[in-house]
C-alpha cells in the first residue's frame, strides 16, 4: 500500500473522546519500550510523527493518526511500566482496557513483542485476555535487527509453541525492524487487505 498522507489527529486519555468519524482503525499495543511508536513512524515513513524515546513510558495517551484520509493508526501507551506509581499504572491499564473493549472502530489490535525475549508472562496473559474478550489481534515481533537470524527463529518458535498450548491456531504473525524497515510491506498489505473487504 502506498502511504500518501499521514497526519496526527488527536491525543486522548479517554476512549469516549476519540474521533467519531467512524473510520476503521488499527492500534498498536505492547510493553513499554517495545517499539510501538517507532513502528508507526516506520510504517508511515514519517520519522517524528509518533513520539519515541529510549526511556520506557513515553506514550501516555491514546494517539490517533489519519492515514490516506481513510483510516486511523493508533499509538497506545505501553503496559507493564514498572516505574510508574500504582495509581499511574492502574490509570493506564484502565485507559488501555476501555479502549480495547469499547472502541467499535478497532479492526485489529497489533500486539508487539520484543523479538529478543523469550515468551513473557505479561504478554501471554494479555494475549489470553484478548482471546477471552474476542478481540481480533495479530502479533508483531519488533527489533529483529538486534539479533541473529538463528536466535530470531528460535525465539519465534518458542512463542508459537507457547501459544499453541492454549490456542488451536496461531494468529497472523509479523516480523519487523523499524531500524531496517523490515516487515513494512507485509503489515501494510495486511491492513489494506482488511480495509478492502
155 binds, among Mg ion, ligand GTP, none (CB under 5 to 8 A by kind): none
User: Measured from the CB of residue 182, what is the shortest distance to ligand GTP in angstroms?
Assistant: 8
- Which residue bears the cell 507493564? 80
7 beta partners: 66
User: Measured from the CB of residue 91, what is the shortest distance to ligand GTP in angstroms?
Assistant: 14
Query: Is 103 a residue that touches Mg ion (CB under 5 A)?
Result: no
Query: Is 34 a residue that touches ligand GTP (CB under 6 A)?
Result: yes
Q: What residues contact 100, with CB distance under 8 A and at least 6 apart?
A: 27, 29, 106, 109, 130, 133, 135
User: Measured from the CB of residue 151, what is the shortest distance to Mg ion in angstroms?
Assistant: 25
CA distance 28 to 132: 19
User: Measured from the CB of residue 56, what is the shortest distance to Mg ion in angstroms?
Assistant: 9
3-class secondary structure, 124 = helix
CA distance 138 to 146: 22
Task: Please report, for residues 48, 63, 112, 191, the alpha-carbon distance to residue 176 in angstroms, rounded to integers and kept in the order given.
Answer: 19, 21, 10, 15
Q: Which residue is nearest to ligand GTP (CB)?
A: 78
Query: Is 78 a residue that touches ligand GTP (CB under 6 A)?
Result: yes
80 binds, among ligand GTP, Mg ion, none (CB under 5 to 8 A by kind): none
CA distance 153 to 144: 10
179 binds, among Mg ion, ligand GTP, none (CB under 5 to 8 A by kind): ligand GTP
Within residues 79-138, the interface with ligand GTP by CB under 6 A covers: none
Within residues 38-77, the interface with Mg ion by CB under 5 A covers: 58-59
Chain residues in the site for Mg ion (CB under 5 A): 36-37, 58-59
Amino acid at each position: 500500500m502506498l502511504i500518501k498522507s499521514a497526519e496526527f489527529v488527536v491525543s486522548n486519555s479517554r476512549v469516549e473522546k476519540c474521533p467519531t468519524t467512524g473510520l476503521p482503525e488499527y492500534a498498536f499495543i505492547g510493553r513499554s519500550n517495545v517499539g510501538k511508536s517507532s513502528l508507526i513512524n516506520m510504517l508511515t515513513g514519517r520519522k517524528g510523527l509518533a513520539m519515541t524515546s529510549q526511556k520506557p513510558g513515553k506514550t501516555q495517551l491514546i494517539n490517533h493518526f489519519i492515514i490516506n484520509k481513510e483510516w486511523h493508526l493508533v499509538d497506545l501507551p505501553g503496559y507493564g511500566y514498572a516505574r510508574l506509581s500504582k495509581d499511574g499504572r492502574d490509570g493506564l491499564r484502565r485507559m488501555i482496557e476501555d479502549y480495547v473493549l469499547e472502541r467499535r472502530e478497532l479492526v485489529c489490535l497489533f500486539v508487539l513483542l520484543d523479538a529478543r525475549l523469550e515468551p513473557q508472562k505479561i504478554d501471554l496473559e494479555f494475549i489470553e485476555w484478548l482471546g477471552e474478550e474476542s478481540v481480533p489481534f495479530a502479533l508483531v515481533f519488533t527489533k529483529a535487527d538486534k539479533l541473529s537470524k538463528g536466535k530470531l527463529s528460535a525465539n519465534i518458535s518458542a512463542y508459537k509453541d507457547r501459544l499453541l498450548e492454549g490456542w488451536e491456531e496461531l494468529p497472523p504473525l509479523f516480523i519487523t525492524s523499524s531500524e531496517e524497515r523490515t516487515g513494512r510491506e507485509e503489515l501494510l498489505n495486511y491492513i489494506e487487505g482488511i480495509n478492502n473487504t
